[in-house]
A = this chain, B = another copy of it.
Amino acid sequence: MVTKTKRTGRPPGASDNRDRILEAARAEFAAKGFRGATTRSIAEAAGVNVALLAHYFGNKRQLFAATLDLPEAVRDEMARATSGDLDTTAESLTRTYLGLWENPATRDQLLATVRSGLSSEEAIEPLRDLLAGALHSAANLDPRREAGLALAMSHLLGTAIARHLTGVGPLGTIPFDELVNRVTPAVQVHLSPR
């Protein structure tokens, strides 16, 4: 009987352990927040020794930061959605932002950001960026419009929370397009000049 004896030291061949840790960490942070996800639970989910997390990422906080790194493309997408004429970008902004939450490739990062950022003061920065990023990318913004854009983003965040975290009423199940159609007019109210 050829027992696959557990060996120590570096195993032969290539390894995707780094990526697997990153993916497992994303899922864990998304499900339980920064505090709730433990290094051991992440390591187990990744099928990896705990000490390997420190080897690749230093410590838990740095792993968390690496986890939240959104692809360049996503940032560009958000920037574009708010860079046009505010009077007519309500649907574009709504569809882009809520679409990020529908996309499996980015949803975990958003979940992790919200779960961790809201659970205490210490991990709030990424969440603030998520909301204020739109404000900054709309650089040439009339100060009188700033509050309107902030309120539009708040509405979108609240909607995403209700749909993907709490699942209140029919919001968790209605089709994406209907959701966009319903939210867009309210967002438009905030983006229009007063």
Interface residues of A (CB under 8 A from B): 31-33, 35-36, 114-121, 124, 127-128, 131-132, 135, 146-151, 153-159, 161-162, 165-171, 174, 182-183, 185-187, 189-190
Known: A155-B155, A159-B155, A162-B154. Is A33-B119 also a contact (CB below 8 A)? yes
Within 8 Å CB of A168, what residues of B? 128, 131-132, 135, 150, 153-154
Within 8 Å CB of A167, what residues of B? 128
The distance in angstroms between the C-alpha atoms of A187 and B161, with both chains bound, is: 17
Known: A158-B159, A161-B158. Is A36-B171 also a contact (CB below 8 A)? no
Main secondary structure, interface of A, reads helix
Q: Of B115, B151, B162, which is within 8 A of A186 by CB?
A: B151
Closest Cβ of chain B to A23, distance in Å, is 19
Q: How many copies does the complex hold?
A: 2
Closest 3 CB pairs of A and B: A158-B158, A119-B119, A150-B169
Known: A147-B174, A158-B154, A183-B151. Is A115-B115 also a contact (CB below 8 A)? no
Report whether B32 and A120 are in contact in the complex, using a CB–CB cutoff of 8 Å. yes
Report whether A128 and B166 are in contact in the complex, using a CB–CB cutoff of 8 Å. yes
Q: Which residue of B lies closest to A152 (CB)?
A: B186
- What are 10 pairs between A and B in contact, CB < 8 Å? A35-B35, A115-B118, A131-B166, A135-B168, A147-B174, A150-B171, A151-B162, A153-B168, A157-B161, A158-B159
Known: A35-B36, A150-B171. Is A124-B165 also a contact (CB below 8 A)? yes
Q: Which residue of B lies closest to A151 (CB)?
A: B182
Closest Cβ of chain B to A49, distance in Å, is 25
